[in-house]
Amino acid sequence: MAEQDPRTPLPPVAPTRAAPPASVPAQRYPQPLWPRNLRNWTMVWYRNFMVWKKLAVPSMIGNLADPMIYLFGLGLGLGMLVGHVSGVSYIAFLAAGTTASSVMMSASFEAMYSAFSRMHVQRTWEAIMHAPLTLGDVVLGEIAWAASKAVLSGTAIMLVAGVLGYAHWSGMLPALAVIALAGLAFAGLATIVTALAPSYDFFMFYQTLAMTPMLLLSGVFFPLEQLPSAVQAAAKALPLAHAVALIRPLLLGWPLQGAWLHVAVLAAYALAALLVSLMLLRRRLLR
């Protein structure tokens, strides 16, 4: 058989088509649902911090204006009529309660309005989850960020109260730990509301039906013992009542009673809210 001349061009070869890949069910977000590890969520926290840092001053003023108005408006005004409550001046009594209520307000508003904007309007969560992060990383980072803002707000109220002589400096460090735990609990509860919210208007239901009753029934403005026994029993199931029961004795130098019970209730709220919000957000974002 004669060998082919190497200078002779080879005949064209018809292009072959690769076999189409087997169909794979589309997954919109990375799996698993839970946080991938103990550090990925910090990237979400850091991203929110970098955005907040650009508007830190007006944000802090907005978070502090409402509790400061309560503290000085009611504290000085009603203090002239009430005098002393439980052995301390009314404004000192109110300062400790306002510290706890500011934690609830700051954590809730951040986990509702700001988180809803990032999730639904700006679709920032969807963009983040194209990186090697799970939905659990994003939710945990958002809750931790909302709790961080609550710590900032509560710390500012404590410092003002301490400078004016309405709080003991020695109790502020353990109170800071309580503020962080309460911030996680309130941020988790607000994240549940965010998972259910179709629009910003939905948050008014939570503010009116949950936050306002907690503010009025948890001992922020007056001793819880003055309420009827049935109302006291209902109030003791609210997370704000347990936060007040821990923060007020620490700031006023009173002995703590049932501290482990209050801590356990706040921790249970924080953990249960995280789990429920994860399940609700998975159903919302993957449907």
What is the per-residue pLDDT across 82-130, written as a single tens digit (0 to 9) for each? 778 888 988 899 999 999 999 999 999 999 999 999 999 999 998 898 8
Structure tokens that stand for 85 in this block: 């409550």
Q: Is residue 215 part of a domain?
A: yes
Q: Which segments of the chain have a pLDDT < 70?
A: 1-32, 62-63, 286-287
Residue 25, pLDDT score: 42
Q: Is residue 254 part of a domain?
A: yes
Q: Is residue 151 part of a domain?
A: yes
Q: Is residue 19 part of a domain?
A: no
- Work out how many domains the chain is built from and give that number: 1
Residue 85, pLDDT score: 85
pLDDT tens digits for range 253-277: 999 989 999 999 999 999 999 999 9
Q: Is residue 276 part of a domain?
A: yes
Rg of the chain over Cα atoms, rounded to whole angstroms, equals: 27
CA–CA gap between residue 168 and residue 271 (Å, rounded): 31
Q: What are phi and psi of 50, to 5 degrees?
A: -65, -35
Strand partners, 88: 85
State which residues form the domain around 114. 56-285
Residue 22, pLDDT score: 46
Q: Is residue 234 part of a domain?
A: yes
CA–CA gap between residue 53 and residue 46 (Å, rounded): 10
Q: Using the 8-state DSSP alphabet, how is residue 9 labeled?
A: P
Q: Is residue 16 part of a domain?
A: no
Residue 23, pLDDT score: 42
Q: Confirm if 251 and 171 have CB atoms less than 8 A apart.
A: yes
Q: Is residue 225 part of a domain?
A: yes
Structure-derived torsion over alpha carbons of residues 112, 117, 120, 122, reported in degrees to the nearest 10: -160
CA–CA gap between residue 156 and residue 134 (Å, rounded): 34
Q: What is the pTM of this model?
A: 0.84
Residue 29, pLDDT score: 45
